[in-house]
Amino acid sequence: MKKFNLLLLISILLIKSSIFSQEILLPISSNVKDQIILSAAHSDMLGEGFFPVSYSEAQVDFPKKDTTRTWIYRKLFQEHFIQPTGKHFLLAVDPVLNLSIGKDVLNEGANYIFQNTRGVQAQGHIQNIFSFYTAFFENQGRYLAYQTDYFTDRGEYYPKNGVYTQTNAVIPGGGRTKPFKVNGFDYASSVSYVRLTPNDKLTFQFGNAPRFFGYGHRSLLLSDNSFNYTHLSIDWKITPKLSYTLMRGKQLNLIRKVHTNLIEAPYERKGIGVHYLNYKPIPTLSIGVFESTVYLRDEATSSQRVNPYFYQPLIGINTALNGSEISDLKNLLGVNIGWRFHPKHLVYLQTVTDDFKNKAFGFQLGYRNANVFGVKKLHFQAEYNHANKTLYAANNPRLAYTHFNLPLAHTLGNGFKEVVIRLNYEWKGFFTEVAAVFYDAHQPMTNKSQLFESKLVISPNDFTRVLNGHFKLGYVVNPATQLRVFLAGHYRESSTDLSPTTANGSLTIGMRTAINNQYFDF
């Protein structure tokens, strides 16, 4: 009887799932978000306030075979490299490339900059009830001076004779590195997930694929700026208007433990828990309440069990009972709002705090426009971000809102006022993009280290002003894989109260599978 009931349940789930579309997730890259957030395929607010979303949520069809074309043409320009499909399953396997070479033309004697990424990705689904994605990347690169300085200052810490020394740079989204030739870095990374969608109410996802909360270029809540970390998430659509997301994950401070029996000392661990309640009073308005908690697991010479609050699933309980920070956990609260007041116009807002008493706060206000001046596929975005000097920091620096020595939310960490302007256009596969970032920051210019200091003893810092802009011209070789060729120009100018103005200006040519974001615009 038990076997019969189990078979009956599986049959019901498979029958129900046959009416669903693909639950594979779209890439999280900005170029994909620009296309789908204000897509003509739907007129409501997309998703539940975070990305990536699935093909079905965005009402985008997974690329299909076109048997009227030759095999070579289809593989180069139309579809995935390996794409066997059946009535109830799909598989797609592709090479992944990010190859570029360039030069800082404003600094004589500077080495050539380059990116050399080779990888492979595989994705698929079975009966639209089970989907997966996995990818591995091998990378070498050399970067502009301001980027290299930042990556190096985010390196891991080794204890030696009672003192921590720093080595092995860390690249946002790329992870820990080793030296490569002259001023270069060698690193590897991977990303994967498995998703189970038993019905149209529940989704379970396990892996290390990042999530980005919000509709902006930046997120003040949780973004893909840092490095991938293992987590379990549960998305529950309670009613057509109300949804709830629960996430639990493992993160690391790149600080080696002092005592170990292993060949190489492990990093200090911490946990993260996220609760997100999203409400859509009308289809074009999305209002979300966000709570995130960082849990201490390890310090230099000690370890402990995670606080029991790690296991409680209700939003607001952690903050109500523990306040902003206690010895082994730190809470952050935020609001995430998006309003699509016109099919081609969207305004969005975020507010965040992790210390009401000391008025630590941040906020974001932004606007998106698709089909600017009636021009199809001309997208415009303007955004303002602000975070004061103590937001995301903690009394105990090991509880700061970071992972892999990188900010979990905004690229700059804290202590900034920023304006972001983006404009991009696509026509018959050709594309152009222009973007500029302006910010003032009350922190050191190079290493943005303020977030990693205790709030109780934050050291004096410099006032920094930065203009960071770029343009890009290119062609989408294969829309299915997001393979693009491009020519890019980049200019950055920075000054502080204590140092003269410095500038970098580069020209780069390359080819890239644009499936993730590279937040080097700081």
| Residues 375-401 pLDDT 10s | 999 999 999 999 998 999 999 999 999
- The stretches in the chain having pLDDT less than 50 are 1-20
- How confident is the model at residue 88, as a pLDDT? 83
- How confident is the model at residue 514, as a pLDDT? 93
- How confident is the model at residue 112, as a pLDDT? 94
- How confident is the model at residue 300, as a pLDDT? 77
Superfamily of domain 3-513 in CATH is Capsule assembly protein Wzi (2.40.160.130)
The residues spanned by each domain of the chain are 3-513
Contacts 24+ apart (CB under 8 A), 368-371: 368/37, 368/38, 368/215, 369/38, 369/344, 369/345, 370/37, 370/38, 370/39, 370/344, 371/344
| Residues 229-265 pLDDT 10s | 999 999 999 999 999 999 999 999 999 888 778 778 8
- How confident is the model at residue 66, as a pLDDT? 78
Alpha-carbon span 80 to 478, nearest angstrom: 9
Q: Is the peptide bond before 52 cis (omega within 30 degrees of 0)?
A: yes
Tokens found for residue 371:
């089909």
Tokens found for residue 504:
């970098």
What are the DSSP calls for 168-209, one per residue? S-EETTTEE-EEETTTEEEEEEEEEEEEE--SSSEEEEEE--
- How confident is the model at residue 500, as a pLDDT? 82
The residue count of the chain comes to: 522
